[in-house]
Structure 1
Amino acid sequence: MLEPWVYPALTGVAVVSGFIDAIAGGGGLLMMPALLSAGVPPLFALGTNKLQSVFGTGVALRNYARAGLVEWSRNRLTVLLVFFGAVVGCITVQLIETRLLNVIIPLLLVAAALYILLSPRMTDQDAHHRVTSSGYAPIGGAIGFYDGFFGPGTGTFFTTSLVALRGYGLTKATGLTKLFNFTSNVASVLLFGLGGHMFWLLGLCMAAGAMAGGWLGSHSALRFGAKLIRPLLVVISLGMTGRLLWSYFAG
């Protein structure tokens, strides 16, 4: 039984988390520790976080789509593989040890942060693509698996890979990232919900905060573009790196 104060407190955290997620991803860096600190069991924290996130990401996706930054038809195969990958990831996470990922993932996040800082591609200008949309689909599916399995840094991995491999400008890549994030979140909600690992009332309260944050974050990204997205991606990547390393060595 959760204390009454948990509902408004975590709804407030969800506003900030949704804002960060809409721009750079990584809102779980705030949301998951907040859920665990409030006494939510780990699997329920994962499920409830996905429930609130799907609403915030959905609002952000709508805003990016209305701005013409989401190419629906060209990415149908990627959406399908992201969904399938997330389903497999959600099932797998309940079967094997994930602690080793607390060391592996920071290395990938640091690499992503360095790419974001140093690459001349990290602008709002489209560049020559290195793989086709079909060629990118398995990569998207692998990131979807990771999101269902573990999660931190998923938005960063989607955005960075879309810029590096598909040649999208940073704001367009961020918009498309929301489509893939929304897909993996829907898959995760279905799996955690069917498994009974969900605090529905808490998740729906938090969803209201996440939707407000998602609306504010996506409008900010559309207004300021790469000037806002690029530094926030770096900060979030390094923040998640520190958090994961601290969790590993403290645990």
Structure 2
Amino acid sequence: MWEMVTVALAALAAGFVDAVVGGGGLILVPALFSTFPNAAAATLFGTNKAAAIWGTAWATHQYAQRVRMPWGALLPAACAAGLGSLAGAWTVTLVSTAGLRRALPLVLLAVLIYTLLKKDLGREHAPLYEGRREAFVASIIGLVIGFYDGFFGPGTGSFFVFLFVRLMGYDFLHASASAKLLNMSTNAAAIVLFGLKGHVWWHLALVMAVANVLGSVVGARMALARGSGFVRAMFVVVVGALIVKTGADALLH
């Protein structure tokens, strides 16, 4: 019971962070590994995905009611993200992630520095493309980051947000809303793989999913109420935490 309460509380906090800017895995994955130290890593990752996708789906629904979502661009991008995730998951069975593990903190540091130096980045919503061009650029982002999510994963939501801001001219609020849909697609692809191989504790995932949705409701409402400035600030905090976490992982491995 205490184990379930622990991971449910972690899922609640993760849902809040995920709904605002992504990065809930920083909270939930370590909580699962510390609570169930003897479980297979694949099972814990699969259980995390099976719980987190519901909070992400609910956040997408909340954003869609209040923010204009360019569905013509995002739906093809979500499909591309799912395909990329499947390709990444297959590739990780053939290639080591050691090099990417060492490089990731430096990539995240570059993203953080760029965001801090560009004071106006993502404060105003001014899309750079429309129609087929918007769909094409969004799909490339979905395919590349989807592949990364399937292959390795940490910081996927933050990469989606940053690229939608930098390459497509979205503000942080619209970028976060768009990232939710794509992240939901990559999670769904991963759940299919983990589920088919029996690497999901469904009874635990159900409890965590309820808590994750509750956290998501609060996070999305706060982001919508406070706007792009709040989402940008949360983005800086989450990317900073990711740098520390991935840097420590790289040193330990």
Post-superposition offset of 1:128: 5.2
| Aligned residue in 1 for 2:190 | 188
User: Any idea what SS the aligned residue of 2:67 has?
Assistant: coil
Deviation at 1:108, TM superposition (A): 1.4
Residue of 132, 135, 149 corresponding to 1:133: 135
Deviations 1:11-36 (A, max 9, x none): 00001011011111111111111111
Contiguous gaps of at least 5 residues in structure 1: none
For residues 139 and 120 of structure 1, the distance between their equivalents in structure 2, rounded to whole angstroms, comes to 23
Residues 83-94 of structure 1 mapped to structure 2, 5 A cutoff: 83-94=82-93
1:198 aligns with 2:173: no
Deviations 1:23-60 (A, max 9, x none): 11111111111111122321111111111110010110
Q: Give the aligned partner of residue 44 of structure 1.
A: 43
> Which residues of structure 2 form unaligned runs of 5+?
none
SS in 1 for 2:98: coil
CA contact (8 A) 1:56 1:214 kept: yes
User: How far apart, CA to CA, are the structure 2 residues paired with 1:183 and 1:70?
Assistant: 16
Q: Is the 8 A contact 1:52 1:210 kept in 2?
A: yes
- 2:14 is the counterpart of 1:17: yes
Partner residue, 2:95: 96
Q: Deviations over 1:106-133 (max 9, x none)?
A: 1111111122212244344123517633
Partner residue of 2:32? 35
Structure 1 residue 58 corresponds to structure 2 residue 53:
no
Distance 1:239 1:50 in 2: 20
Match of 2:169 in 1: 167
Quick check: 1:212 aligned with 2:186?
no
Q: Aligned partners of 1:7, 1:34: CA distance in 2, in Å? A: 11
CA contact (8 A) 1:24 1:156 kept: yes
What does 1:107-126 correspond to in 2, within 5 Å?
Answer: 107-126=106-125
Change (3 A) 1:165 1:203: same
Q: Which amino acid is 2:193 matched to?
A: L
Quote the offset at 1:73 in angstroms: 1.9
Report % sequence identity: 35
